Chains A and B, each alone.
Chain A
Amino acid sequence: MRLLLVLVKPLPLTVIKKVINKLIEGLLMLSSTITTLTVLLIVLFLFKEGVSVFKESPLEGENVIVLSNQNKVSHLTSIDIKKIFDQETTNWKAVGGANDSILLFTFNDLSNYFSEEELGPEFEFLPHKMDSLIEANPGMIAVFSKKYLDKNHKSKVATIDNISPKTFLLGKEWFPTANPAVQLGVLPLILGTLYVSIVAILIALPIGLATAIYIAEVAHPKIRAIYKPVIELLAGIPSVVYGFFGLIVIVPLIQKIFDLPVGESGLAGAIVLAIMALPTIITVTEDALRNTPRAMKEASLALGATQWQTIYKVVIPYSASGISAAAILGIGRAIGETMAVLMVTGNAAVMPHSLLEPLRTIPATIAAELGEAPANGIHYKALFGLGCILFIITMVINIWVETISKRRVNR
């Protein structure tokens, strides 16, 4: 009754206003938490999917590896399996067994051993026949689906390690769809990413530094007024356009100059990334240079130093932390860049040996392969694992830059 009365009685205007004010303030607070929530959600989703790759067996589908009980070997790693089935390893000695040659057996070889009648019309005798065959051949290694494994099998099922963080991070082979065992070593991708990014910064830093000094200290204000918007424009051009330019101009150029079979290479990626990192480096460095107190510069000039001496004895040392922040930020941008790199580096997932060979970066791998990886499969999870690595690298770089700029403020 009372409640109704309250509702019926018109509320004073000030109360309504207060409620609306509180509502709006609540809304404002809610939207500011969304950003935080997004970062946490990204971490949650990325790492949930990414870490689950370590619960997976490298064997494809429901497959099992079956060996004879007379074979001393009972444990294989995924790289062993790949080498065996690629026939790089042909003797059991290489994987810790007896000196006996390895005999491969897959479903394709079925007709070499059994006739159709022997297997029965519905393949009902297949599990038992295979079991006896494997048990009789100590050198044989067989891979087939779990459902064809005889219920009272005499042969033994080899144990295979799940993907471990160590093999994931330090493995040198990336064959995420290999059969029968996938190879998920991301070292070539990590090295490829760092390689291209660092070379890109080595190209971009001197040029960017020179341009920033020119704009901040040397150039006439009118020239500065032209440079600034142009550099902003350079920053605004989509990466896919840079990639396109790299593909049609830089790649053929590199192919011609170095006389290569293909122009898509680490060098092409580094050049495109260097061009893309320039605006970041120039803007951040210029800001740092302009933060030098006027009094310091004037003191130097008053002592008879030339403008150039002032720049390299006063301005550059004073803004050194800002310049290093620019370099790190540039590397961070380069590491995360996807499309341009994807278009010009040739995407060969091999350990990088030279800048003139195709190589592959982490973002390019994700972009190129996620479309083909079935959802929640091992490949999909491995790509999320790559996303985690990328996220961690860029997070560390961000925090690093943050601490550098804090140090500058504190001084």
Chain B
Amino acid sequence: MQSDFKKILSQSIAFWTFRILSLAVMGILFSILGFILVKGIGVVSWDFITKMPEDGMTKGGIYPAIIGTLCLIAGSMLFAFPIGVMSGIYIFEYTKDSWYRRFVQLMTANLAGVPSIVFGLFGMALFVNKLGFGDSILAGSLTLGLLALPVVIRTTEEALKAIENSYREASYALGATKLQTIKRVTLPMALPNIITGLILSIGRVSGETAPILFTVAAYFLPKLPTSVFDQVMALPYHLYVISTSGTNIAESRGMAYGTAVILILIVLILNIIANIIRRFLTKKYKTN
């Protein structure tokens, strides 16, 4: 009797500790989001996202930074998405469990673990200096693209892995070639999952600061880019500079909160879209 009581007591103590700690994790997240949203939501207005910054970045909007980030997202995805999906297909569908597959997978895992500042160093050495692109959208997009590449490869592999082999075998049995099977059967089935990966990697790319520090980001540039060799402002870098350096840190606080809100909203919206696609997908498979 005594020992039963002890057991139950220790269990409830342990579980309550877990419950409280996990609630604390939630609390941390919501307090971060809440704090920034409450302080910054008043700053965000139509003018804030469509106007140029003014008065040493204390007034006006963040339009060029938004456009810059969109350029970088587009550029990096144009590079990373096709290459990532193609190599994911090659690794999963074409290579058997060979040394080549293991080698490429090891390299992908390593690339995924490389700190973002090292991508920045590499991008600066190769794209900016060696290839002579200078600080430009091109150099920044390629650097960010390399960073997103392992994410896209991994999601493509996972998406292909999730498809049952019987679908492939059925296709082969009907006389389809490997490429036809990929084109008509596996890729369409894997596409929603691949798109989810794409959305999540857009979220990652849009918030990265370290890789663009030395490859593209401009401190203050109140005009829009006209070619891929132009510098641009970018949201995460903008938040970094106006909250740490410059002469008007106190006066630019409002703008900093606003920029942080926009960054959080981007991630939030992308996450919601990814979740909707995922839910839609599971439903679709269930009804089938």
Q: Does B191 contact A (CB under 8 A)?
A: no
**A42 adjacent to B267 (CB under 8 Å):** no
**B107 adjacent to A36 (CB under 8 Å):** yes
**Cβ distance B7 to chain A, nearest Cβ, rounded Å:** 5
Q: Does A239 contact B (CB under 8 A)?
A: yes
**B90 adjacent to A308 (CB under 8 Å):** no
**B109 adjacent to A398 (CB under 8 Å):** yes
From B8, B118, B264, A241 is in contact (CB under 8 Å) with B264
Taking CB atoms, residues of chain B closer than 8 Å to A335 are 115
CB-CB nearest in chain B for A309: B7
Count of chain B residues with a beta carbon within 8 Å of a chain A beta carbon: 84
| C-alpha spacing A237/B86, complex, angstroms | 28
**A234 adjacent to B29 (CB under 8 Å):** yes
Q: Does B153 contact A (CB under 8 A)?
A: yes
**A36 adjacent to B83 (CB under 8 Å):** no
**Cβ distance A272 to chain B, nearest Cβ, rounded Å:** 10
| C-alpha spacing A400/B18, complex, angstroms | 29
Of the stretches A94-102, A106-114, A130-138, A367-375, the one at the interface is A367-375
Q: Does B160 contact A (CB under 8 A)?
A: no
Taking CB atoms, residues of chain B closer than 8 Å to A11 are none
Q: B191-205: which residues lie under 8 A (CB-CB) from chain A?
A: 200, 203-204
Count of chain A residues with a beta carbon within 8 Å of a chain B beta carbon: 82
Q: Does B124 contact A (CB under 8 A)?
A: yes
From B7, B35, B94, B126, A249 is in contact (CB under 8 Å) with B35
Once A32-B104, A39-B111 are accepted as A-B contacts, the answer to whether A367 and B271 lie under 8 Å apart by CB is no
Taking CB atoms, residues of chain A closer than 8 Å to B28 are 275, 278
Query: Between A and B, how many residue pairs show CB distances below 8 Å?
Result: 237
Taking CB atoms, residues of chain B closer than 8 Å to A207 are 21, 24-25
Q: B119-177: which residues lie under 8 A (CB-CB) from chain A?
A: 119-122, 124-126, 129-130, 146, 149-150, 153, 177
**A28 adjacent to B87 (CB under 8 Å):** yes
**Cβ distance A122 to chain B, nearest Cβ, rounded Å:** 37
**B118 adjacent to A387 (CB under 8 Å):** yes
**Cβ distance B246 to chain A, nearest Cβ, rounded Å:** 14
Q: Does B10 contact A (CB under 8 A)?
A: yes
Q: Does B280 contact A (CB under 8 A)?
A: no
**B115 adjacent to A39 (CB under 8 Å):** no
Interface centre among A49, A211, A240 (most CB of B within 10 A): A240
Once A32-B86, A238-B236, A332-B113 are accepted as A-B contacts, the answer to whether A247 and B129 lie under 8 Å apart by CB is no
**Cβ distance A408 to chain B, nearest Cβ, rounded Å:** 16
**Cβ distance A44 to chain B, nearest Cβ, rounded Å:** 9
Q: Is the interface of A mostly helix, strand, loop or mixed?
A: helix
**A247 adjacent to B244 (CB under 8 Å):** yes
Q: Mark A364-406, 1 if CB is under 8 A from B, else 0.
A: 0011001100010000000110010011001101100010000
Of the stretches B42-50, B56-64, B209-217, B221-229, the one at the interface is B209-217
Taking CB atoms, residues of chain B closer than 8 Å to A337 are 115
Q: Does B32 contact A (CB under 8 A)?
A: yes
Once A28-B89, A233-B267, A245-B36 are accepted as A-B contacts, the answer to whether A36 and B104 lie under 8 Å apart by CB is yes
**Cβ distance B156 to chain A, nearest Cβ, rounded Å:** 11
Taking CB atoms, residues of chain A closer than 8 Å to B11 are 306-309
**B275 adjacent to A229 (CB under 8 Å):** yes
Taking CB atoms, residues of chain B closer than 8 Å to A227 are 22, 26
From B19, B118, B271, A214 is in contact (CB under 8 Å) with B19
From A45, A307, A311, A312, B125 is in contact (CB under 8 Å) with A45
| C-alpha spacing A339/B243, complex, angstroms | 12
For this complex, 26 residue pairs linking A to B, each with C-beta atoms less than 8 Å apart, are A32-B91, A35-B104, A35-B108, A35-B149, A36-B107, A39-B111, A42-B114, A208-B25, A210-B21, A214-B18, A227-B22, A229-B275, A237-B207, A237-B267, A240-B236, A240-B239, A241-B36, A278-B25, A308-B10, A339-B236, A342-B240, A366-B120, A366-B121, A375-B129, A390-B115, A398-B113
Known interface pairs A28-B90, A211-B22, A307-B11; 18 further A-B residue pairs with C-beta atoms within 8 A, sorted by A's residue number? A25-B179, A27-B86, A32-B87, A35-B108, A45-B122, A211-B21, A218-B18, A241-B239, A241-B263, A245-B32, A245-B35, A248-B253, A308-B14, A342-B240, A383-B121, A390-B118, A391-B118, A394-B115
